[in-house]
Amino acid sequence: MNVLELQQIGQLPVIATRPMPEEIAGTAVVRLHAAALNHRDYWIVQGQYAQIRLPAILGSDGAGEWQGQPVVIYPALDWGNHPTMPGPAFRVLGMPEDGTFAEYIRVPRANLFPKPEHLTWEQAAALPLAGLTAYRVLFSRCQLQAGERVLITGIGGGVALMACQLALAAGAQVFVTSGSEEKIRRAVQLGAKGGANYRTADWHKQLREQAGGFDVVIDSAGGDAFALLPTLCNTGARIGIYGGGSGKINGLSPQVIFWKQISIHGSSMGSPQEFECMLHFVQQHRIVPIVDAVFSLAEGNAALERLAAGEQFGKIVLAIDGSAAN
């Protein structure tokens, strides 16, 4: 079978041939039709990830067929027995185990879930990691309720967009930030009430004028700008953090946190049970993940380069022809 294989840190992956995986007890070999990229794939290529093993097949998101049934793959292994937090063995597909940038993948059968019927292969592949991360931070961690005002920072990435779509479907009022006016405009077209460009000095004042205050804030950046987020919060607000692309948080005032009774929740992907709930929510509300661009498996390097450029609005997906097994 053909795979997109990372052979050396700092160099782009190459198309390589691997033997077909074989099913063993409790596993399934899925013929993949589409796989989606995540920033973790690019970070692994750059060596910015722990316990990298080479050669590696990256990719955490995938949709395909097993025994003629359309499935999406729960993108992690060994969540553990605790329903609210992962155990020490928890890990994500695509490192160290082989991932979805291949024509076939072997995963535990428990990782297979029915593909939402209203989604194409590419849309279904765009859903798992981003959808699960967004669902957990919004509902499991921040307990979002209908009618609440939500601020989602860095709109345009896969998780932020899924958080926007899920929050809108739940009846929340959504506002966004971005460094791109175009991305803010597109978020408004999806249903967001408004937004602000964080490259402007008074972005937080603009949001205050638009919304008054927020009940839930979803952030993936951290950095110096994070200290302004609690000042935008209503009393009793919840802040969910699922990433830290801008680095350490500086200048955060504890007085704002305790006087406003603000809760800060760290969050990662989620459990298989949360994945099932997310899929049900997507099916119920007919949510369609935003796909920015589709590349073939052979064009995987161009897909990684687009991801690195940070200009995408939605998920970048690889369309995979699973018929060419060797």
Q: Is pLDDT larger for residue 250 or for residue 278?
A: 278
Confidence band for 325, pLDDT divided at 50, 70 and 90: very low
43 occurs within a structural domain: yes
In this structure, is residue 163 part of a structural domain?
A: yes
Supply the CATH number for residue 225's domain: 3.40.50.720
For residues 137 and 258, membership in a common domain is answered with yes
**Is residue 136 located within the same domain as residue 255?**
yes
Same domain flag for 77 and 109: yes
Q: Among residues 209, 83, 221, 93, which one has the least CA distance to residue 153?
A: 221
| Residues 137, 89 share a domain | no
Split at pLDDT 50, 70, 90, the class of 323 is very low
Residue 77 lies in a domain: yes
Is there a single domain that holds both residue 149 and residue 116?
Answer: no
173 & 48 share domain: no
Residue 46 counted as domain residue: yes
DSSP calls for 18-52: -PPP---TTEEEEEEEEEE--HHHHHHHTT-SSS-
Distance CA 245, CA 220 (A): 7
CATH number, domain containing residue 106 = 3.90.180.10
Same domain, 21 and 112: yes
Instruction: Please write the tens of the pLDDT for every residue from 225-270.
Output: 999 999 999 999 999 999 988 889 988 999 999 999 999 999 999 9
What total number of domains does the chain contain? 2
For residue 175, what pLDDT is reported?
Answer: 98
Average pLDDT score, the chain:
95
**What span, in angstroms and rounded, lies between the C-alpha atoms of 31 and 269?**
24
Same domain, 63 and 140: no
d(CA 203, CA 265): 23
Predicted confidence at residue 230, as pLDDT, reads 97
Shared domain check, 177 and 160? yes
pLDDT for position 207: 97
Average pLDDT (202-231) is 96
Residues 121 and 233 reside in one and the same domain: no
Question: Quick one: pLDDT at residue 110?
Answer: 97
Domain extent for 205: 132-266
Do 170 and 261 fall within a single domain? yes
Q: What pLDDT score was predicted for residue 15?
A: 96
Whether residue 280 is contained in a domain is answered as: no
Between CA 166 and CA 178, with CA 172 as vertex, the angle to 5 degrees is 70
> Considering only CA atoms, which of 1, 209, 178, 182 is closest in space to residue 106?
1
The pLDDT value given to residue 99: 97
At residue 326 the predicted structure's pLDDT band, cuts being 50, 70 and 90, is very low
Q: Does residue 271 fall inside a structural domain?
A: no
17 domain residue, yes or no: yes
C-alpha–C-alpha distance, residues 258 and 253, integer Å: 9
pLDDT at residue 324, as a whole number: 38
Highest mean pLDDT among 190-194, 311-315, 317-321: 190-194
- Residue 98 within a domain: yes
pLDDT in tens, 115-133: 999 999 999 999 999 999 9
Residue 285 is classified by DSSP as H
Could you tell me the maximum CA-CA distance found in the chain, to the nearest angstrom? 63
Residues 315 and 250 in one domain: no
